[in-house]
Amino acid sequence: ETGVTQTPRHLVMGMTNKKSLKCEQHLGHNAMYWYKQSAKKPLELMFVYNFKEQTENNSVPSRFSPECPNSSHLFLHLHTLQPEDSALYLCASSQDLLAGGASGTTQYFGPGTRLLVL
């Protein structure tokens, strides 16, 4: 399998459930990202990992807990979510952190997990 894969593709959970989203990249990249896309809103960066270390937490509530066991895998653990957390959760990877300018690199996205919190 190539590129960035995400499982599950769809998830329905209650507010008291605990679930996990999984992302795997087969590109040999060192940086991985979680994004959230709510309806009619821009993609919003949640977390950034570089060489398994978290480098960015964009003020994300603690009910979202990321885990990066190695450079190829990224998880997002979910617990006690709210209905407003329903969204499309996208994982991405890049060779290195997007440094901007002439040294900028591209982020490659997975297909996303459509999450519905009831």
The residue ranges that bind other proteins (CB under 8 A) are: 4, 6, 31, 33, 40-45, 48, 50, 55-56, 58, 90, 92, 97-102, 104, 106-112
The 3-state secondary structure of the chain, one letter per residue: CCCEEEECCEEEECCCCEEEEEEEECCCCCEEEEEEECCCCCCEEEEEEECCEEEEECCCCCCEEEEEEECCEEEEEEECCCHHHCEEEEEEEECCCCCCHHHCCCCEECCCEEEEEC
CB of 43 to other proteins, least distance (A): 4
CB of 15 to other proteins, least distance (A): 26
CB of 73 to other proteins, least distance (A): 17
Q: Which of 25/117 has CB closer to other proteins?
A: 25
Q: Which of 30/64 has CB closer to other proteins?
A: 30
CB of 90 to other proteins, least distance (A): 6
Q: Which of 78/92 has CB closer to other proteins?
A: 92
Q: Which of 52/79 has CB closer to other proteins?
A: 52
Residue 86 near residue 71 (C-beta atoms within 8 A): no
